[in-house]
Structure 1
């Protein structure tokens, strides 16, 4: 029978020369198991997709609502340091989003003093118009029929009507723009202090059409004010009046314009054309 050579001498020789063999034939560097590499890459990809989805969805994490009654004025300090001053009969909804701050002006008018936040623009939606700003002082007023007026006192704002084939209007201080019937009107130069005089309890009319003036006065009375004759809407009103004394202004109208003011039971006021010869 042939005997196999003993393995012991060979093991002894390998043991004595193990270090020399390691230097002559170094082992390749250890590598992470393919399954672990793929798992790590998958987690990174999922995190990136989650962040991208959040940025795209821009989710709302908080909602607030503020309103004023007829004749009330209210100052609101927001969590980001922005300040709102709400005029009489005004309603705003605020949505705090991950990447933006959004205010919906449902009725009335408000003065916005916005705290800057480069990565979280402040957007006001009123009627069909959107106003976007990073930090500024501006006034937004809802007129009738979803029409909107934006007046800028400080900073810079962009006003646009989403879906309209128009270039957004970029306002500089002392400029104003109206959005009427889904279209932006030409930018006008104005005295911003007049548009914002209501914060000091004053209403300033400067060759203001009577129809527009009456629409504003409605926000300061619980009972309605009506123009019986649409032809009266183009008459111009000029003067400075106290916002809490709207009824005194209505009583003065016949001495300013060719109109008659009739008061009905319940407080309703009707403005009619003054009869000929009176």
Structure 2
């Protein structure tokens, strides 16, 4: 049973318990050996509530995400096509969903329409520099600028005689600028950031860009409205293509990822799991009964299994893996 996203419009976000039920049903059915009675029970479960249908769709989406993008025909050519279309649409202020008009027998268009993550992920295949999920990388650029890339990130480097431009296609980057007469800009879908003798961190999650400045200053300019603001050292903010949020104090612990670590200081387990999930393939969930437990310490960002073991040894929790790509943190029995 495949449920379109439109059918889920307005459905409530499934609870942890419902998501776990959906994952167990998927584990039961995935090998094709489920009995007629089991299949009937599954259909009844999915039909019993909107939250069940939404949870089942989520599990299916996660499963499809594990079908490698590289299995598509000529993935690098497709990445180049997607990037060219995306550039044209940005210039016209058109929505990204229009990428669904791409050809390749309708396959790429259909995938782009159904999977919001696909354009950035596919374009990342053709990026100048990229990292896999769970990987961090440090790169020295031609001008002497140092660039760190966090998990599942990708950038294009566009240096000309007039400017130095880093295009963050997806993920997170930390930039330490080098002296040069040419301006240095970091560009995301939401706008551009001009470095003013700077050390700064940029995180793009698709809907917004988060900027934290640790040295010098950075001038933001939004893509759609051309609104601008200078963010000083020690401050952070987020912005969309249409506006810039309020400044607040930059989180120094955020930079631990550049050293391969995740720092937690009085952090609720649910929030810690959300951050750790960025470094781990598949679903990482937390049972409501333990979600508010407090996490302290330094954890290896590049080894999420070890980080989970550390959590299990420090807190009254256990790690459950219903499927190879479905992991949950539960109360210890």
1:202 matched to 2:261? The reply is yes
* Higher-Rg member (1/2): 1
d(CA) in 1 for partners of 2:243, 2:289: 24
Q: CA deviation at 1:259?
A: 7.8
**Is the 2:189–2:241 Cα contact (8 Å) retained in structure 1?**
no
1:95 to 148, 155, 158: 158
d(CA) in 1 for partners of 2:210, 2:235: 11
d(CA) in 1 for partners of 2:229, 2:145: 23
Q: Which residue in the other structure is 1:130 paired with?
A: 192
Q: Which runs of 5+ in 2 are unaligned?
A: 1-125
Q: CA deviation at 1:261?
A: 4.7
Q: Which residue in the other structure is 2:218 paired with?
A: 157
d(CA) in 1 for partners of 2:218, 2:240: 18
**Is the 1:169–1:187 Cα contact (8 Å) retained in structure 2?**
no
RMSD: 3.5
d(CA) in 1 for partners of 2:291, 2:191: 24
Q: Which runs of 5+ in 1 are unaligned?
A: 1-62
Q: Which residue in the other structure is 1:148 paired with?
A: 209
SS of 1:136's equivalent in the other structure is: strand
Q: CA deviation at 1:92?
A: 0.7
After superposition, the C-alpha distances for 1:61-101 in whole angstroms (9 at most, x for unaligned) are xx970012233322212111111122232211111234221
**Is the 1:73–1:88 Cα contact (8 Å) retained in structure 2?**
yes
d(CA) in 1 for partners of 2:310, 2:241: 32
Q: CA deviation at 1:153?
A: 1.4
d(CA) in 2 for partners of 1:180, 1:237: 31
d(CA) in 2 for partners of 1:265, 1:84: 36
Once the two structures are superposed, the pairs formed by residues 35-46 of structure 1 within 5 Å of their partners are: none
TM-score (norm 1): 0.61
d(CA) in 2 for partners of 1:156, 1:171: 6
Once the two structures are superposed, the pairs formed by residues 127-276 of structure 1 within 5 Å of their partners are: 127-142=189-204, 144-164=205-225, 167-179=227-239, 182-192=242-252, 194-206=253-265, 213-221=272-280, 223-227=281-285, 238-251=296-309, 261-270=319-328
Q: CA deviation at 1:131?
A: 1.3
SS of 2:303's equivalent in the other structure is: helix
Q: Which residue in the other structure is 2:56 paired with?
A: none
d(CA) in 1 for partners of 2:245, 2:136: 29
Q: Which residue in the other structure is 2:183 paired with?
A: 121
Q: CA deviation at 1:203?
A: 0.8
Sort the Cα spacing of 1:233 and 1:146 in 2 relative to 1 into closer, same or farther, 3 A: farther
SS of 2:179's equivalent in the other structure is: coil
